[in-house]
Structure 1
Amino acid sequence: MKFFIDTANLAQIQEANDMGVLDGVTTNPSLMAKEGIKGVENCKKHYVDICNIVEGDVSAEVIATDYEGMIKEGEELAALHPHIVVKVPCIADGIKAIKYFTKKGIRTNCTLVFSPGQALLAAKAGATYVSPFVGRLDDISSDGIELVEKIVSMYRYYGFSTQVLAASIRTTQHIIQCLEVGADVATCPLAAIKGLLNHPLTDSGLAKFLEDYRKVNA
């Protein structure tokens, strides 16, 4: 399973990349705003800065909700850097735009997916990635991991090439669950990725090794 980091924070992206496990980045307008990135040109520059850190795909989201606006923004984003994947919402005009981008050879990430039916339409339109939102479904007492599992099963059964990118990951446990149900990618906060390192037996084992070393080499 590939790891993407879900942030627009350059320091966090650099830290994850330096760990040697980062495969890509996902961003959205909310994450850009959190970092104080304002204005279209500043956002574009920030996307390029992100692409210059990582070797993998960087999802850059369109703001428009109409077909013509999505096409215009998407083509501008795709032209910024070869790593850019155009992120498009799962609405009617979004599916139509994904089909257009697919024909033009522009890679896409269909976002805000909350049902197998939406995922089916995205795959049929040729989306490179589909992003089911795990945490947001959990927030309304639904099962986000179950949705990921259903989409993975559907894509494998019908032979779709669209990759399942589990999004809205909140915890390290979410990552493990996505791994277990066969997600192609999990996009996560840095804290959740680093959480995979934590285990009390690792901590106690390392402490014992160091204690024994000090005894022998005192």
Structure 2
Amino acid sequence: MLSTLEHLRSMSIVVADTGDLRAVQQARPQDCTTNPSIVLKALQSPSMLSLVDSAIARAKTDGTSIEAIADDLTVRVGAELASLVPGVVSTEVDARLSFDTPAMVRKAKTLIACYAAQGVAPERILIKLAATWEGIRAAAQLEAEGIRCNLTLLFSLAQAKACADAGVFLISPFVGRITDWHAAKEGKVFAPEEDPGVLSVRQIYRYYKSHGINTVVMGASFRNTGQIRALAGCDRLTISPELLSELAADQSSLPRVLGPCPVEADAPEPICEAQFRWQINADAMASEKLAEGIRSFDLDHRKLLELIGEKLSGQARSEARP
């Protein structure tokens, strides 16, 4: 009998939301997604210590900056993942740049160049950007230059509309963080069919399909398998190793929830910057979770910089001993 995970694979592309190499080998996903939190966790695992130490040793020799070492390590984690999956790996741009379009474009190109140096072709990488107005503008420029993007920290239809207008390859609407916000505000636990995070992704999916928009919808940030089951049929779903294991152990049936929609004749009106900013501002959940997500990813990126700085200092002290 097929597992729920295998049933899901027949409807949606399954993506692993992890930097754990062993978990990826076990789950056999099509793609992998990473973010600063995932990269930091991966680099602190025993299996990655030699990778970190070798990067520090190289930097000591050629005088590479801490920021450049962080980029190098982030890409090396991504390259390891790319060797294990047949599809693409998403790599995130520094969250501190989320409101600086030119800086995001420069950083994206730096990451693509780093991947090329590791033998990973640009088409194997999705550049992950926060779905701020500036991030979406950066994505529009990168997409025009052939660099595909994954717009993350997406909590609203306004963000999804702007991403579609920009010709973004893929969006990652978050489920669990939306649910967390509403659960805290309303003091309740939601069943899948009334879950605000699930309903948000369904709304975006149907908007895209009914308007013939080619941007891929990849549900993300799941808290339980019920949320995943409620989005069966979504283009892609990025899932943590723990929830992938639960789905693999489950042998219950899985009906398709999302699928083709009738296409509307009229093209949607583009969303302008003023409309985008107002709609995000008017949506307390979206504005709060977007800001919170950027701060959280920045915090973990800074922790990575601190880890590198400590290792460089430790190595310097070791070499200074008689």
TM-score tier by shorter-chain length is: 0.7 to 0.9
In the alignment, what sits opposite 2:16? 5
SS of residue in 2 equivalent to 1:168: coil
1:141 maps to which of 148, 166, 182: 182
TM-score (norm 2): 0.58
Does residue 196 of the first structure (1) align with residue 247 of the second (2)?
A: yes
CA distance in 2, matches of 1:102, 1:36: 29
User: If each structure's helix is expressed as a fraction of its own residues, which one has the higher value?
Assistant: 2
CA distance in 2, matches of 1:197, 1:67: 41
In the alignment, what sits opposite 1:43? 74
1:47-90 Cα shifts (integer Å, max 9, x gaps):
11111111111110000221122111111223412311000111
Once the two structures are TM-superposed, the CA of residue 40 in structure 1 deviates from its matched residue by 2.1
In the alignment, what sits opposite 2:226? 173
Does residue 78 of the first structure (1) align with residue 78 of the second (2)?
A: no
In the alignment, what sits opposite 1:187? 238
Does residue 158 of the first structure (1) align with residue 169 of the second (2)?
A: no
Structure 1: gaps of 5 or more residues: 202-218
The question of whether the paired residues in 2 share the 8 Å contact of 1:98 and 1:125 is answered with yes
1:154-200 Cα shifts (integer Å, max 9, x gaps):
10111110011101012221211111xx4111100112122123348
CA distance in 2, matches of 1:115, 1:152: 12
TM-score (norm 1): 0.84
The question of whether the paired residues in 2 share the 8 Å contact of 1:170 and 1:188 is answered with no
User: If each structure's strand is expressed as a fraction of its own residues, which one has the higher value?
Assistant: 1
Give 1 or 2 for the bigger CA radius of gyration.
2
Task: From the superposition, tell whether residues 198 and 45 of structure 1 become closer, same or farther in structure 2 (CA, over 3 Å).
Answer: closer
1:121-167 Cα shifts (integer Å, max 9, x gaps):
01110111111110000101261000110001110111110011101
Q: What amino acid is aligned across from residue 40 of structure 2 in structure 1? A: A
Show the 5 A alignment for 1:24-43: 24-36=31-43, 39-43=70-74
Task: From the superposition, tell whether residues 71 and 16 of structure 1 become closer, same or farther in structure 2 (CA, over 3 Å).
Answer: same
Q: What amino acid is aligned across from residue 35 of structure 1 in structure 2? A: A
In the alignment, what sits opposite 1:206? none
The question of whether the paired residues in 1 share the 8 Å contact of 2:71 and 2:111 is answered with no
Instruction: Supply the RMSD in Å over aligned alpha carbons.
Output: 1.8
Task: From the superposition, tell whether residues 199 and 167 of structure 1 become closer, same or farther in structure 2 (CA, over 3 Å).
Answer: closer
SS of residue in 1 equivalent to 2:178: helix
2:92 maps to which of 61, 69, 74: 61
CA distance in 2, matches of 1:200, 1:103: 44
Identity %: 32
Once the two structures are TM-superposed, the CA of residue 36 in structure 1 deviates from its matched residue by 3.0
Structure 2: gaps of 5 or more residues: 1-11, 45-51, 53-69, 184-195, 253-322
The question of whether the paired residues in 2 share the 8 Å contact of 1:78 and 1:85 is answered with no
